[in-house]
């Protein structure tokens, strides 16, 4: 049953769709997709063009907005918006430690998850588009990994698009995961250095916390084993506009004096477990490196292997000297499947995905070179999550794609910038500026 309800200034409708698990086997097993339709309250009865939003990740459901914040207010001036929970996320058929055992053992689970990459998400979009738009093409807004999906859309089904708008999500068309992470670690180091320049008192605070974790076994209230490496991975927040400030406020209340001596405070542990747990988005950890798989090479825990080329990220070595502890960023490591109770049962499945060698290419350079879909992309200068050089190289490979390169925002510019980012990109795509 379709449910329609209201929030301030908007009318929302819950929509559900059934799609094939494997679009090459349309008569086979199916999964369910959930999406939330949003329209301005004063335009609810109008026949409007559609914009479908593809969230970043992989593994995150679409934003749960209240009212018309961030980019949504700009979109609702002219579009009816579909906030899609990509397969396996949000209210779509879930894929997590509780549900994946229904598939069978780790091998069956890995085969299932291999169908959760960009090409399957795009085919989902094309499967549901006729029911949503009546067959008319729609505009896609792809944020981060959603941008990766959008480039796949332009490669495989451009006839479904009236325009494509990408924010912080132009992928390399041919880089292996090793290339991605080899470019990422120096960017991460620059972000950490900038954080310490802003908050120099955090140098000693971070060293003290890491030293404590190297000599104490700390288990967070949710069962997460907080190691020094896990603590370093909090650096992922530095990719957002407010990330440096969030990290600073977290570090400043790390310790409390107890009857047994100094210990990590409950408040600190509670906030850390919320930042580190993958309970709400396990697909992010399971298929993150797989989004870069395009040839016969396995990803083989690329972020972990490439990190060894950057010994300055080793916590023990940093503490043995007088240098700062370096945080890490958007990287997935095998130890996460030991530390996080939401991931532990899926360790063998993750190993099989890391060893997989049958990843198909995700992008079609020839088709992109002949692109006719109006398209625009925001490229954030020194984006911590997506390499700027890779994005610019891809931008030059997509015919007609207009770019806006800016250092005004970090990776979350489409949210932090309110309506401005989407407004500018739509203007670029339409050749209005």
* C-alpha–C-alpha distance, residues 126 and 119, integer Å: 11
Neighbours of 4 (CB within 10 A): 12
Bridging pattern class, strands 401-406 and 138-143: unpaired
Whether 412 is catalytic: no
Q: In 415-433, which positions are buried (b, 16+ CB within 10 angstroms) versus exposed (e)?
A: bbbbbebbbbbbebbeeee
Q: CA gyration radius for the chain?
A: 22
144 is catalytic: yes
CA dist., res. 76 & res. 51, Å (int): 9
User: Which one from 119, 390, 411, 412 is the annotated catalytic residue?
Assistant: 411
* Residues written for the chain: 433
Triad 188, 193, 196: Cα angle to 5°: 130
The dihedral built from the CA positions of residue 156, 353, 332 and 346, taken in this order, carries a sign that is: positive
Which one from 24, 25, 322, 358 is the annotated catalytic residue?
358
Cβ neighbours of residue 405 closer than 8 Å, sequence gap 6 or more: 379, 380, 381, 388, 392
Beta strands in 244-374 (DSSP E): 255-258, 261-264
**Burial code of 172-190, b = ≥16 C-beta within 10 A, e = fewer?**
bbbbbbbbbbbbbbebbbe
Catalytic residue among 119, 120, 124, 144: 144
- What is the spatial distance between Cα 285 and Cα 301, in angstroms, rounded to a whole number? 11
Place of tokens 């120099």: 200
Neighbour-count burial of 363, counting CB atoms closer than 10 A to its CB (0-12 exposed, 13-18 middle, 19+ buried): buried
User: Per the structure block, which two tokens stand in for 354?
Assistant: 């890391």
Count of alpha carbons within 13 Å of 47, Cβ hemisphere only?
Answer: 3
What would the two tokens of residue 68 be?
């018309």
| Residues labelled as active-site residues | 144, 358, 411
């Amino acid at each position: 049953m379709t449910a329609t309800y209201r929030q301030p200034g908007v009318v929302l409708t819950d929509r559900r769709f059934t799609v094939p698990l494997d679009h090459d086997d349309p008569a086979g097993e199916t999964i369910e997709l959930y999406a939330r339709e949003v329209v301005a309250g004063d335009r609810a009865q109008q026949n409007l063009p559609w914009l479908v939003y593809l969230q970043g990740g992989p593994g995150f459901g679409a934003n749960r907005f209240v009212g018309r914040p961030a980019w949504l207010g700009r979109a609702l001036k002219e579009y009816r918006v579909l906030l899609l929970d990509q397969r396996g996320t949000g209210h779509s058929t879930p894929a997590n430690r509780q549900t994946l055992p229904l598939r069978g053992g780790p091998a069956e689970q890995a085969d299932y998850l291999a169908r959760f990459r960009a090409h399957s998400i795009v085919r989902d979009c094309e499967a549901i588009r006729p029911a949503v738009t009546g067959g008319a093409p729609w505009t896609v807004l792809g944020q981060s990994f959603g941008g990766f999906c959008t480039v796949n859309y332009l490669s495989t089904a451009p006839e479904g698009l009236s325009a494509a708008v990408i924010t912080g999500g132009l992928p390399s068309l041919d880089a292996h995961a090793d290339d991605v992470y080899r470019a990422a670690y120096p960017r991460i180091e620059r972000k950490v250095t900038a954080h310490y320049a802003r908050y120099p008192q955090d140098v000693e605070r971070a060293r003290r916390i890491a030293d404590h974790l190297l000599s104490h076994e700390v288990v967070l209230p949710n069962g997460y084993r907080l190691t020094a490496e896990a603590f370093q991975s909090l650096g992922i927040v530095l990719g957002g506009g407010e990330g440096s400030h969030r990290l600073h406020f977290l570090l400043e209340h790390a310790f409390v004096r107890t009857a047994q001596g100094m210990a990590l405070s409950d408040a600190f542990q509670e906030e850390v477990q919320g930042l580190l747990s993958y309970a709400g988005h396990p697909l992010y950890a399971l298929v993150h490196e797989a989004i870069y798989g395009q040839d016969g090479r396995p990803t083989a825990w690329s972020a972990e292997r490439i990190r060894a080329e950057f010994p300055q990220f080793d916590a023990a070595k940093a503490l043995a000297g007088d240098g700062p502890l370096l945080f890490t960023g958007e990287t997935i490591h095998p130890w996460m499947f030991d530390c996080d109770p939401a991931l532990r049962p899926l360790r063998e499945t993750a190993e099989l995905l890391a060893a997989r060698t049958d990843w198909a290419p995700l992008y079609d350079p020839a088709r992109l070179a002949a692109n006719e879909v109006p398209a625009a992309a925001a490229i954030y200068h020194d984006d911590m999550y997506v390499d700027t050089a890779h994005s610019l190289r891809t931008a030059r490979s997509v015919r007609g794609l207009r770019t806006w390169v800016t250092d005004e925002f970090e990776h979350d510019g489409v949210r932090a910038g309110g309506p401005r980012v989407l407004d500018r990109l739509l203007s670029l795509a339409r050749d209005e500026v």
